Amino acid sequence: MKKFICGILAISSIALLLSGCSAKPDAPASSDAATEARDFGEGMVFKHGFDLDYPPYSHLDDNGEVGGFDVELAQAVCDYYGWKYEAVPFNWDAKDAELNAGSCDCIWSGFTRNGREDDYCWSIDYSDNTQMILVPADSDIKTLADLSGKVVGVQTATSAYDLLQDEEGQKPLCDTFASLEVFETYTIAFTALKSGAIDAIAIDVTTGQFLMNGEEGYAFLDEVLGSEQYAIGFRKGDTELRDKVNEALTALVEDGTYAEIGEKYPDIKDFLCLKPSSEQ
């Protein structure tokens, strides 16, 4: 009897927990958490949410400080309005919870817009990105078709991974692989490639170039796996803040700040897609 009652109690408390959780996502309330009336004047705190594992967009720099292209650009946006910049590093897997719960104002960390159009309130695209296949230069893999029967590595929860799992994307190609190995980070995947445990890596071109810095004997295939755009994701309905940031971005492109920050990151500067109106 005792055990029976314990069981009932346990099950009902779990059910309570679950029902509480499932009641959430569709609620429009999700946007009011931190979107109440704000003045966008000087001194407003801008909470920049990003993943510190994503060089060169957001990472720990050589001095052990928070840095990267996105961080510097966000700081420039804050300087433009006189906002107070607050860095909110998060775990990539928990990004939506962080955004919805209001611990940050946006996800701005090499964040792919394509395929997520309806899930966030998007800024203008500020960077292009391409997914490529990274192989040892002496590999017999020369085209995407050669990947048939090979072991390919990818980092979990990245756009390259999503692309390989998407029926309308490269899932058909992925099905020809001997297997797709999903790694925690690309650093580990690259080590696996070096040691011969895998034959190729599916990766964003910018991240791939970053990995190949100072490494001899690795190259991208000429064929492109997919392409996409990076933008800043705000909470749905938070158009006010989005418009403000868009305005600042446009101004920073015009006055050259955007290109200036880009110069510091040679791996990605060719992919920065915003141009001042004089060059268009």
Partner 1 sequence: MTFSTMLLTMGEGMLLTILLFALTLIGSMPLGMVVMFMEKSRIKPIAWLTKVYIAIMRGTPLMLQLLVWRFGPYYLFGISIGSAKLPALLIGFILNYAAYFAEIYRSGMDSMPVGQYEAAGILGYTKIQTFFKIILPQVIKRVLPSVTNEVITLVKDTSLASVLAYAEVFSIAKQISASQTSFIPFVIAGVFYFVANFIVAFIMERIEKSMQYYK
> Cβ 72 to partner 1, closest distance in Å?
14
Q: Which C-beta is closer to partner 1: that of 66 or that of 259?
A: 66
- 17 secondary structure, DSSP code: H
Residue 94 or 224 having the CB closest to partner 1: 94
Q: Tokens 């792919």 map to which residue?
A: 112
Q: In this complex, which beta carbon is closest to partner 1, that of residue 47 or of residue 252?
A: 47
- Please answer whether residues 149 and 176 qualify as being in contact, where contact means their C-beta atoms are separated by less than 8 angstroms: yes
User: How near is the Cβ of 64 to partner 1 at its closest, in Å?
Assistant: 3
Nearer to partner 1, 20 or 41 (CB): 20
Work out how close the CB of 63 gets to partner 1 at its nearest, in angstroms, rounded to a whole number.
6
- Least distance from partner 1 to the Cβ atom of residue 105, Å: 11
| Surface-to-core class of residue 44, CB atoms within 10 Å of its CB (0-12 exposed, 13-18 middle, 19+ buried) | middle
Instruction: Please report, for residues 85, 156, 159, the alpha-carbon distance to residue 205 in angstroms, rounded to integers and kept in the order given.
Output: 29, 16, 11
Q: Are 57 and 70 in contact (CB under 8 A)?
A: yes
66 Cα distance to chain centroid = 16
- Closest contact distance (angstroms) between CB of 203 and partner 1 is 12
The strand ranges marked E within the chain are: 45-50, 59-60, 66-67, 84-89, 106-107, 121-122, 127-136, 151-155, 179-183, 200-204, 218-220, 226-230, 233-234
Q: Interface residues with partner 1 (CB under 8 A)?
A: 2, 5-6, 9-10, 13-14, 17, 20-21, 24, 27, 29, 32-34, 47, 52-56, 59-64, 86, 88-91, 93-94, 97-98, 100-104, 185-187, 190-191, 210-211, 213-214
Residues with Cβ within 8 Å of 138's Cβ and at least 6 positions away in sequence, in order, are: 217
Rounded to a whole number of angstroms, the minimum distance from the CB of residue 251 to partner 1 is: 28
Q: Of 88 and 180, which has the nearer Cβ to partner 1?
A: 88
Please, which residue, 95 or 150, has the CB nearer to partner 1? 95
CB 102 within 8 A of CB 265: no
